[in-house]
């Protein structure tokens, strides 16, 4: 059984980009590429307030993050399932603003006071590391 630290360490091998899957009240899945970063034990993404991801999480606070499969990772991947929420207050945006690992002003020149962007935060519930698509084994973690 893997630890959450194992999951965090492995997921960082894939770089700062991942796919986040959400589902709204209509049951229709939505998958979108985003830049992510671990902030403590949460996965964070800086997204447009008007995005479908935000609308979906407000209706159904579950999300899945898939760190991409690729030749550079020997076809390994990491998938994290969790409870999602939107950090949309000015105080929350100020607190998280400098923690994404890139300059957010490139996307939001109005800074953390602007309501145009929010943070999508995911608290992991379970995760799987798949080695070579799972053919070379897998490691799993589950929150107790």
Question: How many domains, in total, are found in the chain?
Answer: 1
**Quick count: other Cβ atoms within 10 Å of Cβ 100?**
18
How does pLDDT run across 83-108, given as a tens digit for each residue?
999 999 999 999 999 999 999 999 99
- pTM metric for this prediction: 0.95
How does pLDDT run across 9-64, given as a tens digit for each residue?
999 999 999 999 999 989 999 999 999 999 999 999 999 999 999 999 999 999 99
Residue 72's pLDDT is 87
Q: Which residue has the tokens 């490691």?
A: 139
Domain with 43, as residue range(s), is 4-142
Residue 65's pLDDT is 98
Find the radius of gyration of the CA atoms of the chain: 15
The CATH number assigned to the domain holding 24 equals: 2.30.110.10
Let me know how long the chain is.
Answer: 144
Q: 3-class SS at 93?
A: helix
């Amino acid at each position: 059984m893997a630890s959450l630290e194992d999951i965090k360490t492995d997921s960082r091998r894939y770089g700062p980009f991942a796919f986040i899957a959400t589902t709204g009240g209509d049951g229709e899945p939505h998958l979108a590429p985003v830049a992510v970063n671990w902030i403590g034990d949460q996965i964070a993404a800086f997204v447009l307030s008007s995005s479908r991801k935000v609308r979906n999480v407000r209706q159904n606070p579950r999300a899945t993050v898939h760190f991409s499969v690729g030749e550079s990772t020997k076809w390994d991947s990491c998938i994290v399932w969790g409870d999602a929420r939107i950090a949309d207050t000015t105080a929350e945006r100020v607190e998280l603003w400098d923690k994404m690992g890139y300059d957010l002003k490139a996307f939001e020149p109005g800074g953390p006071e602007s309501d145009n962007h929010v943070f999508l935060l995911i608290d992991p519930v379970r995760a799987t590391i798949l080695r070579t698509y799972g053919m070379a084994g897998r490691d799993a973690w589950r929150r107790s």
